[in-house]
Structure 1
Amino acid sequence: MRTKSRVFFLTMLIVMIGASPVHAAKRPAGELRAKSAIAMDLATGSIVYEQNADEQIPPASLTKVLTMYLTFEALQEKRLSLTDTVLVTPEATLAGGSRMNIRSGERVIVRELMKGIAVASGNDACVALAQHLSGSEDFHPFVAAMNAKARELGMGDTVFKNPNGMPAEGQLTTARDMLKLSASYLRRFPQALTFHSMTTYVHNNRNHHNANRLLNSYDGVDGLKTGYVSASGYNNVVTAKRGDARVVAVVLGARSAGARAAVSRQLLDIAFQKINQGQAIATLDMHKGSGKLPAPLAKAAPRQDRDLRDAQMLADAKVAQFQQSAADTDARPAAGLLQRKTAQGAYAIQESSFQSRQRAERRAQHLEKKGLPVKVVTTRLDGKGKFYRVLVGPFANAQDARKTERMLGHGSVTLE
């Protein structure tokens, strides 16, 4: 009898231990299905909801809110105008992930690039603007300005590595920091919603749709920005106005685009209800900032007409050199991952090769969705006809090329 009791006790203990992780994984009642979230009344700065708001997460395309912020500061200081011409460099067109489809050597005015960033989430447009404001193809002054502005605004848990949010080690933010940025952005530049409220945008015959699903489905929503990288999940900063109340809400780490929209809608509902009831849990600790363009960009001079002509010649030479390198990569039409060092020290990877342009472009589009810089290059081989090579790159060094080559065999992150 004692033996049976002991067996029964041990059996129940095993069942309880095995079941405990299931209960631990459940979300507390009322918690949103996202890694973190926060919402506030913009007029008063009152926070009406927060959930893990200080957890660090890659920002993905929410980064573009700060890129737009700095662009508006440059406009305000008349260092830039909406009709200024920006020369698109080869580096800008090679930005992976979502793009507005600008072309190397194309001249695009600032206003159109801003539309491309706000609506198409153009990683290429971000690089083009960052290079233009930095005065050269090196956009590090722009990134330095991004981090300086983040510090001004009290974003103590945020670090930026690039102007578009493409995956980069150490590039992190929090829901609270994104709320600080977005609140300052809307207060200083309410005209920005003219861009962020657009639902579609066309450039180079490519129609882009704003990924913010709430623009057409939630009463009062008129901006801001969505984002996605695999390391964070689906992110969103959204703002909505009803009567005299404007809510700014941040959702980080939803499981899908549909879940992001659903959680954002739920958060807005909670926020408006709390505001109507006069409830708040805290006040956002905001820093006003200098109100000026940070020193790294204030010291840089945006490209002028003469600079654009010089840059155009350099861009043309780079494109020609890269295409020649692609043509020399391999003398066989067989697919394969190959590397080729160019005369300027860049590396390109031949991912595949086709006799059909349509198949090559299909393959390139698939790789672009994985966030990779891709080109389709035509090569004519003696006695074998024309082939279309799918190239990934260029890369500045062999280490980066090999890293991407290995990644190609296992998939990679995407960016919205």
Structure 2
Amino acid sequence: MLKRLFASLLLMFTAGVALAEQPLIPAPPQLAASAYLLIDAHTGQVLVEHNADKQVPPASLTKMMTAYIVSEEIEKGSIKETDLVPISEKAWKKGGSKMFVKVGDKVPVIDLMRGVIIQSGNDASIALAEFVSGSEEVFAEVMNQQAEMLGMTDTNFKNATGWPAEGHMTTARDLATLARALIRDHPEHYKIYSEKYFSYAGINQPNRNRLLWRDSAIDGIKTGHTEEAGFCLVASAQKRGMRLISVVLGTESDDKRAAESQKLLAYGFRYYQTHKVYSADDVLQSERIWGGKEPQVGIAVERDVFVTIPRGGEESIKADLIIDGELEAPIKKGEPVGKVVVTLDGETVADVRAVAAEEVEQAGFFKRMWDALKRFVMSFFQ
């Protein structure tokens, strides 16, 4: 039998207060861009979207995936930041934006990462692709495998640079998914995206993301441009415990992609907030456990629970703890026992597994028999 238990006291709200009037939020800005998206990086909640699932060429935004895969390889121990990468003729000859490596150079992986992220170097991207997978073509296959693993369902990569190629496509939604993974999975390498300059071979180049100079809260991520893609920018900023990710595609100029991104981010920070409902170590309540050495077990959530809400709208949050029937010992710490459903004005905004907060061992024979008898008697009164 499912037991529904209301956790509103833990949220310090009452059912009456939960009916409070919601703050008013104006319509989001309309941008001069072919597609755009704004999400909360903590929760993944979409705040603004337009043509977010339209497939478009990503240009150098592709290099976000190139850098992500290199970070993955470093984390796995397959390569090291200090490994020296030989520069091939193919990498050296590639046109477009460059780090200005030369054939025969041996460049540390971490320097090439900066060349990809800060200088948007096509040469650095190809060099890393060849070092990781043997060729850029094989690396593109790895990129697509990684995209599938991340849930980027409308993306297909043909190369490591974003150089125009038939079928090389993605969407604003998939790029936001990738940006979220960059920030979440590789925070140390993500710091590179906020660096304003990188110098190699005596050539000092600025980061192409203009927003890094306009707002100290902005710490990434990547620009892109081709004639077909237009001017594009994936940006991220953090204020007051909230991190937003914006994706702006197909604008008419470098300045426009920055200005339109600022509009999205300003709107999100002005009218929304990230609210932490529970921490993973919060014991929500204690629940009866049968046949155990202890009569009760604490219930917690398996991870921190964040929700995106209108600024000032905490009073409209409600949380329900649903236990999957009666609990029996033995039970291990972290074992699933139900779920916590968080709603905002009746709409589900988070659904997280509830788990045992501690281990409870099975009791001895006589204690188990006594509990079994009590359960049998109590069943007649349910």
Normalised by the shorter chain, which TM-score bucket?
A: 0.5 to 0.7
CA distance in 2, matches of 1:172, 1:250: 15
Secondary structure, aligned partner of 1:240: strand
Aligned to 2:235, which of 235, 238, 241?
238
CA contact (8 A) 1:45 1:284 kept: no
Q: Does the alignment pair 1:32 with 2:31?
A: yes
Say if 1:283 and 1:112 are closer, same or farther in 2 by CA, change over 3 A.
farther
Q: What are the superposed Cα offsets for residues 366-388 of structure 1, whole Å, 9 maximum, x if unpaired?
A: xxxxxxxxxxxxxxxxxxxxxxx
Say if 1:283 and 1:219 are closer, same or farther in 2 by CA, change over 3 A.
farther
Residue 283 of structure 1: how far off its partner (Å): 9.8
Instruction: Please give the residue correspondences for 1:10-159 in structure 2 after superposition, counting only pairs within 5 Å.
Output: 30-135=29-134, 138-159=135-156
For this pair of structures, how many residues does the alignment match? 256
CA distance in 1, matches of 2:77, 2:348: 34
CA contact (8 A) 1:36 1:51 kept: yes
Residue 193 of structure 1: how far off its partner (Å): 2.5
Residue 156 of structure 1: how far off its partner (Å): 1.4
Instruction: Please give the residue correspondences for 1:289-368 in structure 2 after superposition, counting only pairs within 5 Å.
Output: none
Residue 73 of structure 1: how far off its partner (Å): 0.5
Residue 184 of structure 1: how far off its partner (Å): 1.3
2:221 corresponds to: 224
What amino acid does structure 2 have at the position aligned with 1:71?
V
Q: What are the superposed Cα offsets for residues 239-287 of structure 1, whole Å, 9 maximum, x if unpaired?
A: 10112101111000111001001001001011112323923999999xx
CA distance in 2, matches of 1:93, 1:271: 42
RMSD: 2.1
CA contact (8 A) 1:39 1:249 kept: yes
CA contact (8 A) 2:115 2:124 kept: yes
Say if 1:98 and 1:43 are closer, same or farther in 2 by CA, change over 3 A.
same
CA distance in 1, matches of 2:83, 2:158: 26
CA distance in 2, matches of 1:39, 1:155: 16
What amino acid does structure 2 have at the position aligned with 1:133?
V
CA distance in 2, matches of 1:195, 1:181: 16
CA distance in 2, matches of 1:278, 1:284: 9
CA distance in 1, matches of 2:349, 2:165: 28
Q: Does the alignment pair 1:278 with 2:309?
A: yes
Secondary structure, aligned partner of 1:263: helix
Residue 213 of structure 1: how far off its partner (Å): 0.4
Residue 201 of structure 1: how far off its partner (Å): 0.8
Structure 1 unaligned spans of 5+: 1-27, 286-416
CA distance in 1, matches of 2:348, 2:254: 30
**If the length of structure 2 is used for normalisation, what is the TM-score?**
0.64
CA distance in 1, matches of 2:209, 2:250: 15
Secondary structure, aligned partner of 1:223: strand
CA distance in 1, matches of 2:112, 2:43: 33
Say if 1:175 and 1:283 are closer, same or farther in 2 by CA, change over 3 A.
farther
Q: Does the alignment pair 1:201 with 2:198?
A: yes
**If the length of structure 1 is used for normalisation, what is the TM-score?**
0.59
Q: What are the superposed Cα offsets for residues 82-107 of structure 1, whole Å, 9 maximum, x if unpaired?
A: 00000001110011100000000001
What amino acid does structure 2 have at the position aligned with 1:86?
V
Structure 2 unaligned spans of 5+: 1-26, 274-307, 312-343, 351-382
What amino acid does structure 1 have at the position aligned with 2:105?
E
CA distance in 2, matches of 1:283, 1:214: 34
CA contact (8 A) 2:53 2:171 kept: yes
CA distance in 2, matches of 1:29, 1:44: 19
Residue 29 of structure 1: how far off its partner (Å): 9.0
Say if 1:133 and 1:173 are closer, same or farther in 2 by CA, change over 3 A.
same
CA distance in 1, matches of 2:117, 2:143: 17
Residue 153 of structure 1: how far off its partner (Å): 1.4
CA distance in 2, matches of 1:212, 1:72: 21
Q: What are the superposed Cα offsets for residues 275-310 of structure 1, whole Å, 9 maximum, x if unpaired?
A: 23923999999xxxxxxxxxxxxxxxxxxxxxxxxx
Say if 1:219 and 1:61 are closer, same or farther in 2 by CA, change over 3 A.
same
CA distance in 2, matches of 1:257, 1:62: 14
CA contact (8 A) 1:41 1:275 kept: no
Aligned to 1:172, which of 165, 169, 172?
169
CA distance in 2, matches of 1:44, 1:225: 21
Secondary structure, aligned partner of 2:257: helix
CA distance in 1, matches of 2:228, 2:145: 25
Which structure is larger by alpha-carbon Rg, 1 or 2?
2
2:158 corresponds to: 161
What amino acid does structure 2 have at the position aligned with 1:252?
L
Say if 1:44 and 1:210 are closer, same or farther in 2 by CA, change over 3 A.
same
Secondary structure, aligned partner of 2:158: coil
CA distance in 2, matches of 1:118, 1:198: 9
CA distance in 1, matches of 2:133, 2:232: 28
Q: Which 4+ residue blocks in structure 1 deviate beyond 2 angstroms?
A: 276-285
Secondary structure, aligned partner of 1:253: strand
Say if 1:231 and 1:270 are closer, same or farther in 2 by CA, change over 3 A.
same
